[in-house]
Structure 1
Amino acid sequence: MVVLVTGSAGFVGFHTSIALRELGAGVLGLDNVNDYYPTSLKRARLRELDSKGVHTVEADVNDRNVLRDVLDACKFTHVLHLAAQAGVRYAAKNPGAYVHSNVAGMVNVMEEVVRTSPTPSVVFASSSSVYGLNTKVPFSEDDVTDTPASLYAATKKADELLAHTYNHIHGVAITALRFFTVYGAFGRPDMAYFSFANQIAKGEPIKIFQGEDDAGGAKELARDFTFIGDVVSGIIASLETSEASGKKPDGAKPKFRVYNLGNKTPVTVSEFVGVLEKHLGKKAIREYVPMPKTGDVPFTHADISRARRELGYEPKTSLDDGLKIFVEWYKGHYKNGANSAEQQYIPA
């Protein structure tokens, strides 16, 4: 495989690029290194990528000239499109960033892909957020996803619709991966678990959101927390099993595929914090507060039967083991006050 990874300086793109390189694949990254969260963490990832032989072109996926040059530079067999504006709550403050990166960026990537010969297969990051206000659990790929709860979720749903269109018209082999709350070393500091680690380390209170149950009482959020190593295994399996792009003489085209990549075992945020406390060796100051009206959903739970059957996907990392790995990295990365500016970051 020769893979173009957009968003290679991001959390998932970083880990997947390294794993692909270790498997002997050719990998080239593309990332605009934006400042949604501290760029120092992205720079640390890029240095690690360089040490592994993965170069990243610093550019926006909406820069068609650069994207064209990159796609012409190598005979890519696959494009792994992970570049996106992340975060649910930030969308309430800067919706334009999501339309630019997630919608316009998706169209730009697909337009240049279909102008590439031979046309590479495409795997891209969707999100469990597309399930929105769905009340049927566990969430299945066959569920209707017409009720997004956030603008971020709506852009990811739009990406899936756009992908289906390019598959239908051009015969591009496309796979959408719905990620469920990914965590691990070199993670995103806007994610709750990372913020919790920062606040616990500094002795500051952490806020644990609660929604309402059917009787009007408090109900704590629960998430299908999924370790990064397990997600990477699913991504690589999706790349390895992808059909070649292109319509056959009889008009047949590759199937448009959608997979959940989750852990299949949701836990409450309080349970998650308890395991985090154990590995940090420090108790959290917990504050339970109502969930803000910014698009977070109270519960996620992945049905992974399709990914298990068709990709051989099987998450193997327990929450205890996964958070142990994260905390070991965290303590090393911030040892003796190193990278302390990142610990001051407060998610938007």
Structure 2
Amino acid sequence: MQQVKAVVALAKGEPVTLQTINIPDPGPGEAVVKVQACGVCHTDVHYRDGGINDDFPFLLGHEAAGIVEAVGLGVTEIEPGDFVVLNWRAVCGNCRACGRGEPQYCFNTHNATQKMTLADGELAGTELTPALGIGAFAEKTLVAAGQCTKVDPRARPAAVGLLGCGVMAGLGAAINTGNVGRGKTVAVIGCGGVGMAAIAGSVLAGASKVIAVDIDDRKLERARTFGATHTVNSRQADPVAAIKEICGANGADGADVVIEAVGRPETYEQAFYARDLAGTVVLVGVPTPEMKVPDLPLIDVFGRGGSLKSSWYGDCLPSRDFPMLTDLYLQGRLDLDAFVSEEIGIGDVEAAFTKIHDGDVLRSVVIL
């Protein structure tokens, strides 16, 4: 058992605080990781605000890279000293998806069995709920060994740690879920961190046109730096008409792939109608439970054909995708550094949440 500093959300909607927490020694199948960097993701805000569940207190942070410090019994795939990116898809190897050779859809991903706890005050001993089973706004964290993916140690922790969630979600929405390939036309609705990664992934995959759609000109300007060939401010123009006009050569009636990275009914409808006949819609933006799409006629779903897909974690397999994307980063072919807007201290997370809300950053990254 050891004690470290960590960022904790004690109660719904309250500012996060820096707490001392207890980290158990790793048990069978577990690992303790010394965190070097962890990105500040909008999902952490959802946890703080009770938008995920009510299992307070939460140990926040999940887009992280670090060094394995210790492993428990039976752990053979990693060892102390390994440089790893943490993931929240530790596949089981036994479920139906794993059995049919599709572990990226594993039904039974797992986390550490032991619980980290608060160390001080009236709540001493209270079990913490780690965000996405990771909890990496901390000097060290306890995870399942399968949540540790070894990557090239030459990579910058602040950059490759972002593969742990949002950047992987966007890249994977394009490459894995949307099957974007050479010559395809792509529209991305919503240019936050996930949408920007979808743009980067589309460019990496060889898309001929990549159309960025947002209501914020600052984000649209940034999208061009990630490779967007066209931009549409949907406050000023109908995005469906604009996408169709841009893609209209050779008789196309929209984009081959439209990636919705907002998670709202109105933008999903825009994505649906902005795709070409037999095109693909990918929903990677996370909706809230009450959201519905009531105005989408079923005859249009039938008549336009194609695919309507959701992308959960970019349909990634960390053991396959993280090392490959890290190699592309080191080769200069994938600019993960561009996603790092600022580096901050562990005490600056609450201020970083405000910057996310205001659209001022792609990612603030906590350096430990």
Q: TM-score range by the shorter chain?
A: 0.3 to 0.5
Give the alignment's TM-score, normalised by structure 1. Answer: 0.35
Give the alignment's TM-score, normalised by structure 2. Answer: 0.33
Q: Which has the larger radius of gyration?
A: 2
Indicate the structure with greater helix content.
Answer: 1
